[in-house]
Structure 1
Amino acid sequence: MSLWGDEELAQSPVVANRTMNRARGLTGVNSYARELGLDPAGWLAERAGPQAWLDLCSGEGLALLAAAARLPQAVLTGVDLVGPVVPRPVPADVELVTASLADWAPGRRYDLITCVHGLHYLGDKLALLARAADWLTADGLLLAQFDPTALRGPAGTSLARPALAALRAAGFAYQPRRHLLTLRGRRNVSLPFTYLGADPGAGPNYTGQPAVASVYRPTRRQVD
């Protein structure tokens, strides 16, 4: 098994050609509401005061653009490795950032953080989840689709069970039917795994699309 670093991974055919989330809308058949089990704009609208939504691996940003029409006072941020490829008008309260999530960090906290099918293409999936937990507001919500079978040990063995156990100990909940991780409320998380690299040749995951396996060495259990 050949392991790739972040820069190599960003140029791999599996990551560069991903199409899982590029044209997904806010509601309807091919939508965030369908994948996550809730309408992000509707959920935010029920909260008092200004709302803020961070969408990781946002593709064309269509869901954020649709939400802007319903949430005129909200701060809406999308981050994607490629970014929008189709030029569209972007309202002032929508920020579409083209950056690698391996080292990007926001300058504020968010009421809602989503990642629809994006983790499948990232290298250090656990590090992003731990960092995103710190980007939430005190009563914010994180929703991310997650395939635990994509976590492997150095010899290729599955880390699905210990990884889910560590995530649950850190406060995450997992819905197997939706392959969905949720976390309520900001917290500091340290997961007991050392990232070694990524394998973009892992093959299809539960979506039927080629995905990236992430390789870790288990370490002493640490959850704050």
Structure 2
Amino acid sequence: MPRSSRPADLLTDDVLETSSVVANNAMNRERRLAGRDGYSRVLGFDILGLPPDARWLDLCCGSGRALLDAAAARPDLEITGVDLVGYFAAAGPVRFETASITAWEPATEFDLVTCVHGLHYVGDKLGALRRAASWLSDEGVFVANFDVAGVRVPGGARRVLPALREAGFTYDSRARRIRRTGRFTGALPFRYLGADDRAGPNHTGQPAVHSYYELAL
């Protein structure tokens, strides 16, 4: 399918979140902090190296095992996990919330915001990037797995990536990872149209969601 074309029956985010592709995905449910597939390696970021008393928000956190690992190693960290499916391993010292990341609002800013392989299942991916980066402290870091191929807009990646760079995001196309330092208060020049949960597997081998946009005037 050409990037500029789109299905006639795109899903709203409310409907998308009831899809079996989204609500029942197992990509991140049991992931730990360390190890071959652990957060630190997947994100290319040393979470345990955060400064004292830092606030960390993890979006699409799955069962939250990686967050509990971090809390055990660094009890000074203030850690929050948000996931659409509230099957958390335990509460303990971590604050868990069951919510959609496209609607949830925090009560504070964060020194680190992460999302490990969760954006593949989000409808408004670019809106999620903008929102997550707006919750950063002045020196805070946002880092997430992000596949630009899942964003369908006229012009494709050649249109999306320059807009993200202009907004202060950096994109590692090889690792399919996006990052930004410092709070983002601007906008991205795209209007969200809806999502397609029939996109099939992406580079992870798991079924994913395509997000459709038009250029904002």
TM-score where L is the length of structure 1: 0.90
Instruction: Give how far 1:4 is off.
Output: 0.3
Aligned equivalents of 2:76, 2:40: Cα separation in 1: 21
Contact 1:119-1:145 within 8 A present in 2 as well: yes
Please state if 1:73 is matched with 2:76. Answer: yes
Task: Determine helix, strand or coil for the equivalent of 1:77.
Answer: strand
Equivalences for residues 137-216 of structure 1 within 5 A: 137-153=137-153, 159-216=156-213
- After superposition, where does 1:1-224 map in structure 2 within 5 Å? 1=7, 2-41=9-48, 43-44=49-50, 47=51, 49-84=52-87, 86=89, 88=90, 90-92=91-93, 94-153=94-153, 159-220=156-217
Deviates more, 1:116-125 or 1:144-153: 144-153
Task: State the alpha-carbon separation in 2 of the partners of residues 38 and 104 from structure 1.
Answer: 24
Contact persistence 2:16–2:22 (CA under 8 A): yes
SS in 2 for 1:8: helix
Is the contact between residue 88 and residue 96 of structure 2 (CA under 8 Å) also seen in structure 1?
no
| CA root-mean-square deviation | 1.3
In structure 2, distance between residues paired with 1:158 and 1:121: 22
Output the CA distance in 1 between the equivalents of 2:100 and 2:196: 17
Identity of aligned residues (%): 50
Counterpart-to-counterpart distance in 2, 1:189 and 1:210: 31
Deviation at 1:30, TM superposition (A): 2.2
Q: CA deviation at 1:158?
A: 5.7
Residue type of the partner of 1:91? G
Deviation at 1:8, TM superposition (A): 1.0
Structure 1: gaps of 5 or more residues: none
Q: 1:198 to 1:158 in 2, by over 3 A?
A: farther
Give per-residue Cα distances to partners, 1:49-100, cap 9 Å, x unaligned.
Answer: 42100000000001110111122121100000002255x3x223x1011001
Residues 154-203 of structure 1: per-residue CA shift (max 9 Å, x gap): xxx56222111111100000111110000011121200000000000111
Mapped contact 1:5–1:197 kept (Cα < 8 A): yes
Distance, in Å, in 1 between the alignment partners of 2:11 and 2:195 is 5
Structure 1 contact 27–39 (Cα < 8 Å) conserved: no
Note if contact 1:26-1:39 (Cα within 8 Å) is conserved in structure 2. no
Checking the alignment, whether the CA contact within 8 Å between 2:200 and 2:207 is kept in structure 1 is yes
Does the CA contact (< 8 Å) of 1:151 and 1:158 recur in 2?
no
Q: Secondary structure at the match of 2:40?
A: helix
Q: Residue 128 of structure 1 aligns to a residue in which SS?
A: helix
Alpha-carbon distance in structure 2 between the residues aligned to 1:187 and 1:74: 23
What count of residue pairs does the alignment treat as equivalent? 210
**Is the CA contact 1:150–1:160 (under 8 Å) kept in the aligned structure 2?**
no
Distance 1:149 1:158 in 2: 12
